[in-house]
Amino acid sequence: MGFNRKHLLGFLAVLLWVGVAAGEAIPTRITVLVNDSAGVPAEVLRQAEQEAARIFRPAGVEVSWMNCSEEAVIEGGACREVPGANRFVLHIVPTGKTSTDFVFGVAFLGEDGRGKYCNVFFDRIRDGHRDLGTSTAQLLGTVAAHEVGHLLLGSHSHSRLGIMEPVWKEEAMRQTGMGTFLFTAEQGVVMRERIGREEMVLAVWGNETQWSGDSR
Ligand SMILES: [Zn+2]
């Protein structure tokens, strides 16, 4: 039996599947489309994106950002399309509409625990960062990581420790300042598995013709 391209693809897929099943730290990447309706200063947004990416990195998740206000992104049309595999939308809205002032954002999950869209409330972040002893950019980045975390972790994903704590106090922001307010190791495994599964679906259906024959 020759080791042709089809076999090689199958072999790579098995490797990927085994890796995903074992929860190994296969490098995983998500893209977050940022739709800013709050007019966040460019430098604050850039720092916030860096902060959120820094929070995801120890969990084995690399984040690419696409700002929907940038010319090249507008021309590419990504922000007008339904987000595809491992793409999520972060909407920065000017005013929070939920009942309590302490809510900084919300993630929209379906009954199956899946979701693509989350909102962060810029007025509450801008007004609340001093109380928590942090900068606007740092709090915006931390809230963004928490909400995108909900999209990757599914329903009931708050935890007693780390960035998925439901309520943040000064201690959380002290940890943020030290770079230790992060996802737990278990949350990292769940997120990487989820990302790996979406990549597999993309690999199989995106290259359908290459898969005919051997797979049946
Ligand atoms: Zn939450």
Q: How many CA atoms lie within 13 A of 188 on its CB side?
A: 18
Residues 80-89: b if buried by 16+ CB within 10 A, e if exposed: eeeeebbbbb
Q: Determine the distance separating the centroid of ligand 1 and the alpha carbon of 16, expressed in angstroms.
A: 31
Instruction: Report residue 91's pLDDT band, with 50, 70 and 90 as the boundaries.
Output: very high
- pLDDT, tens digit, for every residue of 120-155? 999 999 988 888 888 999 999 999 999 999 999 999
User: If DSSP codes are grouped into helix, strand and coil, which group holds residue 139?
Assistant: helix
User: If DSSP codes are grouped into helix, strand and coil, which group holds residue 104?
Assistant: coil
- pLDDT surpasses 80 at 72: yes
Q: Determine the distance separating the centroid of ligand 1 and the alpha carbon of 89, expressed in angstroms.
A: 16
Q: Determine the distance separating the centroid of ligand 1 and the alpha carbon of 213, expressed in angstroms.
A: 45
Q: Determine the distance separating the centroid of ligand 1 and the alpha carbon of 167, expressed in angstroms.
A: 8
Q: What percent of the chain is modeled with pLDDT above 70?
A: 78
CA 12 to CA 5: how far, in whole Å? 10
Q: Determine the distance separating the centroid of ligand 1 and the alpha carbon of 202, expressed in angstroms.
A: 28
Q: Determine the distance separating the centroid of ligand 1 and the alpha carbon of 51, expressed in angstroms.
A: 18
Q: Determine the distance separating the centroid of ligand 1 and the alpha carbon of 154, expressed in angstroms.
A: 11
Q: What percent of the chain is modeled with pLDDT above 90?
A: 55
Instruction: Report residue 208's pLDDT band, with 50, 70 and 90 as the boundaries.
Output: very low
User: 117: which DSSP letter?
Assistant: E
Helical H runs in the chain? 5-21, 42-56, 71-76, 122-128, 136-153, 170-178, 185-206, 208-211
Q: Determine the distance separating the centroid of ligand 1 and the alpha carbon of 77, expressed in angstroms.
A: 30
Q: Determine the distance separating the centroid of ligand 1 and the alpha carbon of 9, expressed in angstroms.
A: 39
| Mean pLDDT lowest among 168-177, 183-192, 201-210 | 201-210
User: 81: which DSSP letter?
Assistant: S
Q: Determine the distance separating the centroid of ligand 1 and the alpha carbon of 79, expressed in angstroms.
A: 24
Q: Determine the distance separating the centroid of ligand 1 and the alpha carbon of 145, expressed in angstroms.
A: 10
Q: Determine the distance separating the centroid of ligand 1 and the alpha carbon of 111, expressed in angstroms.
A: 16
- pLDDT, tens digit, for every residue of 157-167? 999 999 999 98
Q: Determine the distance separating the centroid of ligand 1 and the alpha carbon of 147, expressed in angstroms.
A: 6
- On average, the pLDDT of the chain sits at 84
Q: Determine the distance separating the centroid of ligand 1 and the alpha carbon of 166, expressed in angstroms.
A: 5
Instruction: Report residue 204's pLDDT band, with 50, 70 and 90 as the boundaries.
Output: low
Instruction: Report residue 202's pLDDT band, with 50, 70 and 90 as the boundaries.
Output: low
- pLDDT, tens digit, for every residue of 9-47? 555 555 555 545 554 556 699 999 999 999 999 999 999
Return the structure tokens found at 188.
């990292």
- pLDDT surpasses 50 at 101: yes
Contact of 121 with 90, CB cutoff 8 Å: no
